[in-house]
Amino acid sequence: MAGAEEYLGKALAIAQQAADTQLGAIRVAAGLVADALAGGKTFWVFGTGHSHTLAEELYGRAGGLADVRAILEPGLMLHEGLQKSSLLERLPGLADVLLEINPLAAGDVVLIASNSGRNAVPVEFALGARERGVQVIALTSLAHSNATTSRAPGGQRLFETADVVIDNCGIPGDALIEVPGTPERTGATSTLVGALLLQALTAEIVTRLSERGLTPNVLRSLNV
């Protein structure tokens, strides 16, 4: 077994592990978001580097909640350059700027996605959000975070700053497959497993709101 077959088998095993172990965390996170939305508060989503795609997974998506505000800072995404985004997500103080221009307020909830959970921006964003009375949900790899040190000035990793942690169950370094003659592994899982967990979170939030007699604002595809 090699190549695509090996990747599919191992990636699906990680996805199954995440499904088996993270349901409790998803339910707790969904409760926080449902409480916030039912109370007229805001659900925010944020990620840097490739993790920004997970913020977009919850934003403007068919079947998703319309009541989501995504923080999509161009310099922290990838289209302005991989080196630029990698350096900026390590920059202390940048999170303070983002918190200044995005009005997170007490009673809101923010989901922050970061696979490693070690860089300054997601960690400082979480800390700043909590100082404002915002509850923080982290989507991260606990194995990766525990295998590395923080780049944030305070020394915390993302999972250490959150109210609820959802573990994508990925391995340190993200990529799975060793190919003979190739120095680095290939086949990452953080995005595909992260998206699976976030769609489960969305389904749970919509269910919780419906059970309260509320009508969730769910988006319908523009192509149907």
Tell me what the mean pLDDT of segment 26-36 comes to.
Answer: 98
Q: Residue 224 domain-assigned?
A: no
Burial of 83-115, coded b for 16+ CB within 10 Å and e otherwise, reads: eebeebbebeebbeebbeebebeeebbbbbbbb
Give CA–CA dist 154/151, Å, rounded: 8
Could you read off the pLDDT of 154-204 as tens digits, one per residue?
999 999 999 999 999 999 999 999 999 999 999 999 999 999 999 999 999
Structural domain of residue 120, as residue ranges?
A: 3-216
Domain count within the chain: 1
User: 1 pLDDT band (50/70/90 cuts)?
Assistant: low
Q: Residue 221 domain-assigned?
A: no
Q: Residue 223 domain-assigned?
A: no
Structure tokens at 181: 């003659």
User: 76 pLDDT band (50/70/90 cuts)?
Assistant: confident
Within 13 Å of residue 121, how many CA atoms lie on the same side as its CB? 25
CATH code for the domain of 12: 3.40.50.10490
Tell me what the mean pLDDT of segment 62-73 comes to.
Answer: 96
- Specify the pLDDT at position 9: 97
C-alpha dihedral sign at 25, 89, 172, 200: positive
Mean pLDDT, the chain, integer: 96
Residues 6 or more apart in contact with residue 194 via CB below 8 angstroms: 51, 54, 57, 113, 115, 139, 168
Q: Could you give the angle at the alpha carbon of 34 between the alpha carbons of 108 and 205, nearest 5°?
A: 125
Q: Residue 222 domain-assigned?
A: no
CA–CA distance from 164 to each of 30, 79, 195 (Å)? Answer: 10, 30, 17
Could you read off the pLDDT of 134-155 as tens digits, one per residue?
999 999 999 999 999 999 999 9
Q: Could you give the angle at the alpha carbon of 77 between the alpha carbons of 108 and 120, nearest 5°?
A: 65
Q: Residue 76 domain-assigned?
A: yes
- Specify the pLDDT at position 146: 97
